[in-house]
Amino acid sequence: MYKFLIIVLLLEVSVYGKADSTKSEEKRINQYYSGKFGLYVPSKELNNGLILGIDGITEFNKFNFFLSGSIDLYFKKTFDIFSEPKPSVSDQTILIIPLHANFAYKLLDIPDAEAKFYIGIGGGYYLHFYNVQYRNSGGIIGGVFDKSATKNGGNVFFTVSGRILIGKIFIEPRFYLAGESSGSIETYNYKIDPSGFAITLGFQY
């Protein structure tokens, strides 16, 4: 009987120790997802517009920083990326998708206000997908013809950002420093430079 009670007690201590260890691990590392939207102000050729984004975040509470993987999305129809001479564009769209990883350090934590302040750096690669319809004259009998073209590409970029988190709502300013992506459609040369600034509002879950 005594041996049975000792075995039960040891099992309870073992289970409690594992549960306590799990709780301690949960406190050291938190994981979040966040969605955001806001204003993106890129180089003058691309024009201002709406930017959307999602993040996956792992926060290391003991060391006051988090690591994140992010995907942003910028879609626009009114912009001018061609140098002179320019084609007669009738319709165009561009989709820019920056993929990046970030490191952010917690500068300030105010528990009573549920407020945290972070500053971070990061980098990655952006993809662009460009489609254009334009008018061109020529041919054997002359005249005006509608043509279309699709161009894809990308380049590396770096970011500097901040995040002000109050409860689960945050504001995030971010600077994009990107390499140019250039090309041509027939004799028309274009340049895509997504360097710029974005400020977004989001929800962290």
Q: What is the DSSP string of 67-81?
A: EEEEEEEEEESS---
Residues in the chain: 205
DSSP state at residue 82: B
Taking each continuous run of H as one helix and of E as one strand, the counts in the chain are 1, 10
Confidence of residue 154 (pLDDT cuts 50, 70, 90): very high
In this prediction the pTM is 0.83
Alpha-carbon span 111 to 171, nearest angstrom:
18
Question: Which residues, 6 or more positions from 162, have their beta carbon under 8 angstroms from its beta carbon?
Answer: 117, 118, 119, 120, 172, 173, 174
pLDDT digits (tens, 9 = 90+) for 31-74: 999 999 999 999 889 999 999 999 999 999 999 999 999 999 99
CATH architecture of the domain formed by 28-204: Beta Barrel (2.40)
